[in-house]
Amino acid sequence: MLVDDLKRGLDAPICLTWELTYACNLACVHCLSSSGRRDPRELSTAEAKAFIDELHDLQVFYVNIGGGEPTIRRDFFEIVEYAIERGVGVKFSTNGSRIDPATARRLAAMDYLDVQISIDGSDAATNDAVRGEGSFAMARAAMENLAAADFGPFKISIVVTRHNVDQLDEFEAMAASYGAQLRVTRLRPSGRGADTWDELHPTNEQQRTLYHWLQARPHVLTGDSFFHLSALGEPLPGLNMCGAGRVVCLVDPVGDVFACPFVMHDEFKGGSVRDAGGFTAVWRGSELFHSLREPESAGACASCGEFDACQGGCMASKFFTGIPLDGPDPECVNGHGEAARLAALAGGAVLPTVGPGHSKPGSGPTPVRLGRKPVGAGSGLT
């Protein structure tokens, strides 16, 4: 089985997520990396290029660049062009604020480059409640500019929430109107998302609707992030497994290497690209990464007939909701997650410290009422 091969881990990741900077001009309430302010220790241009050299040597085919808002870095184009030159394809996520007509033309002239514009509502009210006032117009302007520059099929990327899940058809029409590709991914309770997940994550009924919607649209990209929904029937297209430390990982702006693209927390940190041996030594030598490639136990899910389909779901979602990693996904479609979460909390489970990370103090819109206070005041991310 291919999945079994992949679970044992590859010699290098297939792709990885690289958050280029913590700086961001928005303050989305579900930001995975709690971004806002640049970190003074962020990788220099030379360090970024040395990291790209490593990715080239490892034959990592592409990187998913994000942030923060990656285009804020003054050397953004220098880094992207260097990666492409070295055969490392680039897909970057942006809120669109810097994609003016000239930048759109510059991007359109580059090969092996994918652009993902983030938008979380098909109308300004839905989107701006999560991403901040004016962010809908910003994203749409970027889409217009890319289309006018003949970029080709750029991607429109949506994080599915309780409030936009009913707009999937509208998003599809939006993508079609630009000749763009639609990409929908899963909301995780990571970063600032830990504080807003309760109010934003789709209901169980909405998940069922989403599953059938995706089943009927294999062309919609998902980053294979909804494999927990495969417990509802036929598996969704893509890899139905957690790729953390096996086929993917994350490098943060200061060079720390995390096994899971959605868990920027010390418990999932394998090392730093600044360590001796660089990224390669972390991927190949870190005890944490090795442990993630061991056969996992089905744990509390062992008696469930759907385990083979959903694989127990998403590690990040469990981790940040206090559920043991061998327990059910908090959004388990059979409802085991909510019970596990309450049991874990009743049993004294302490939620991982999230803290403000690089959020700007008191800044940004907080239109979504916070359901609970951050558990710790520390600086889990710094």
Partner 1 sequence: MNLEGAYRLDPRVALRPEPFGALAYHYGNRRLVFLRSPDMVRVVEALADQPTVADALQSVAIDEKRWPSFVSALTDLESSEVIRAR
**Is residue 5 involved in binding partner 1 (CB under 8 A)?**
yes
DSSP label of 115: E
Shortest reach from residue 310's CB to partner 1, in Å:
22
Residue with tokens 């962020």: 42
Question: 14 or 141: whose CB is closer to partner 1?
Answer: 14
Question: 66 or 68: whose CB is closer to partner 1?
Answer: 66
Question: 221 or 354: whose CB is closer to partner 1?
Answer: 221
- Which positions ≥6 away from 382 have C-beta within 8 Å? 39, 355, 357, 358
**Is residue 179 involved in binding partner 1 (CB under 8 A)?**
no
Q: Residue 339, Cα to own-chain centre: how many angstroms?
A: 26
Interface of this chain with partner 1, residues 254 to 293, rule: CB under 8 A: none
**Is residue 109 involved in binding partner 1 (CB under 8 A)?**
no
State which of residues 62, 82, 226, 227 lies at the interface with partner 1 (CB under 8 A): 62
Q: Residue 153, Cα to own-chain centre: how many angstroms?
A: 21
**Stretch in the footprint of partner 1 (CB under 8 A) among 8-16, 19-27, 47-55, 331-339:** 8-16
State which of residues 114, 252, 306, 329 lies at the interface with partner 1 (CB under 8 A): 114
The answer to whether residues 104 and 145 touch, using CB atoms and an 8 Å cutoff, is yes
Question: 112 or 307: whose CB is closer to partner 1?
Answer: 112
**Is residue 2 involved in binding partner 1 (CB under 8 A)?**
yes
**Is residue 12 involved in binding partner 1 (CB under 8 A)?**
yes
Q: Residue 63, Cα to own-chain centre: how many angstroms?
A: 13
Shortest reach from residue 14's CB to partner 1, in Å:
6
Torsion of CA 288, 257, 382, 33, to 10 degrees: -110
**Is residue 304 involved in binding partner 1 (CB under 8 A)?**
no
**Stretch in the footprint of partner 1 (CB under 8 A) among 10-18, 44-52, 164-172, 318-326:** 10-18
Site residue total, partner 1 (CB under 8 A): 15
**Is residue 87 involved in binding partner 1 (CB under 8 A)?**
yes
Question: 58 or 333: whose CB is closer to partner 1?
Answer: 58
**Is residue 151 involved in binding partner 1 (CB under 8 A)?**
no
State which of residues 53, 98, 112, 353 lies at the interface with partner 1 (CB under 8 A): 112
Shortest reach from residue 61's CB to partner 1, in Å:
4
Residue 241 tokens read as 């497994």
**Is residue 56 involved in binding partner 1 (CB under 8 A)?**
no
**Helix ranges, 159-277 (H):** 168-178, 193-200, 204-215
State which of residues 10, 110, 304, 339 lies at the interface with partner 1 (CB under 8 A): 10
Shortest reach from residue 59's CB to partner 1, in Å:
4
Residue 311, phi then psi, degrees to nearest 5: 60, 25
Residue with tokens 């919607």: 213
Q: Angle, nearest 10°, between helix axes 76-85 and 45-57?
A: 20
Residue with tokens 């085919």: 61
Radius of gyration in angstroms for the set of CA atoms belonging to the chain, rounded to a whole number: 20
**Stretch in the footprint of partner 1 (CB under 8 A) among 29-37, 54-62, 68-76, 295-303:** 54-62
Per-position b or e across 89-121, b if 16+ CB within 10 A of its CB: bbbbbbbbbbbeeebbeebbeeeebbbbbbbbb
State which of residues 59, 204, 297, 379 lies at the interface with partner 1 (CB under 8 A): 59
Residue with tokens 């893509």: 238
Shortest reach from residue 178's CB to partner 1, in Å:
18
Structural element, H or E, at residue 315:
helix 315-321
Question: 12 or 315: whose CB is closer to partner 1?
Answer: 12
Give bridge partners of residue 160 from the DSSP assignment.
186
DSSP label of 120: -
**Helix ranges, 64-220 (H):** 76-85, 101-108, 124-131, 135-148, 168-178, 193-200, 204-215
Give bridge partners of residue 65 from the DSSP assignment.
18, 92
**Stretch in the footprint of partner 1 (CB under 8 A) among 4-12, 228-236, 301-309, 348-356:** 4-12
**Is residue 294 involved in binding partner 1 (CB under 8 A)?**
no
State which of residues 38, 81, 89, 349 lies at the interface with partner 1 (CB under 8 A): 89
Q: Which residues bind partner 1 (CB under 8 A)?
A: 2, 5, 8, 10-12, 14, 59, 61-62, 87, 89, 111-112, 114
